[in-house]
Amino acid sequence: MRTAVVSCLFNGLVTAQRQEFGTARLPGGGRVAYAATGSGPYLLVVPGWLSHLELGWAVPADRLFYGSLAQGRTLVRYDRPGCGLSDAYDGPRTMDLEVAAIATVAEALGMTRFDLFGFSMGAVVAVQWAADHPDTVSRMVLYGGWATGAAIGDEATRHHVLGLLAASWGLGSDLLTELFAPEADAGTRLALAGYQRAASSAETAVALLRLAYDLDVRETLPRVQSPTLVLHRRGDRAAPIAQGRVLAEQIPDADLVELDGRSHLPAIGDAGSVVAEVRRFLGLPAVRRDVPTGLTARQSEVAALVADGLTNRQLAERLGITERSAESHLERIRLRLGFRSRAQVAAWYVATGPHK
Q: Give, for all 356 residues of the chain, the pLDDT tens digit.
A: 433 333 343 333 334 456 789 999 998 889 999 999 999 999 999 999 999 999 888 888 898 899 999 999 999 999 999 999 999 999 999 999 999 999 999 999 999 999 999 999 999 999 999 999 999 999 999 999 999 999 998 889 899 999 999 999 988 888 888 889 998 888 888 888 888 899 999 999 999 999 999 999 999 999 999 999 999 999 999 999 999 999 999 999 999 999 999 999 999 999 999 999 999 999 999 876 543 456 777 787 888 888 888 888 888 888 888 888 888 878 878 777 778 778 888 887 777 766 44
Determine the Cα–Cα distance for residues 287 and 277; give it in Å rounded to an integer: 12
List the chain domain ranges. 2-281, 296-352
What Rg do the C-alpha atoms of the chain give, in angstroms? 20
The CATH classification of domain 296-352, taken from the options 1.10.10.10, 3.10.450.50, 1.20.1250.20, 2.70.240.10: 1.10.10.10
List Cβ neighbours of 37 (8 Å cut-off, separation of 6 or more).
6, 8, 17, 18, 19, 20, 66, 67, 70, 74, 75
Q: Could you tell me where the beta strands, DSSP code E, fall in the chain?
A: 2-10, 13-25, 31-38, 42-46, 74-78, 114-119, 137-143, 228-233, 255-259, 291-292
Determine the Cα–Cα distance for residues 344 and 339; give it in Å rounded to an integer: 6
Contact at 8 Å (CB) between 32 and 103? no
Reported pTM: 0.82
Determine the Cα–Cα distance for residues 57 and 70; give it in Å rounded to an integer: 13
How would DSSP label each residue in 193-240?
HHHHHHH--HHHHHHHHHHHHH-B-TTTGGG--S-EEEEEETT-SSS-
Q: For the domain covering 2-281, report its CATH number.
A: 3.40.50.1820
What is the pLDDT at residue 335? Answer: 72
Q: Is 142 helix (H, G, I), strand (E, B) or coil?
A: strand
Determine the Cα–Cα distance for residues 217 and 131; give it in Å rounded to an integer: 10
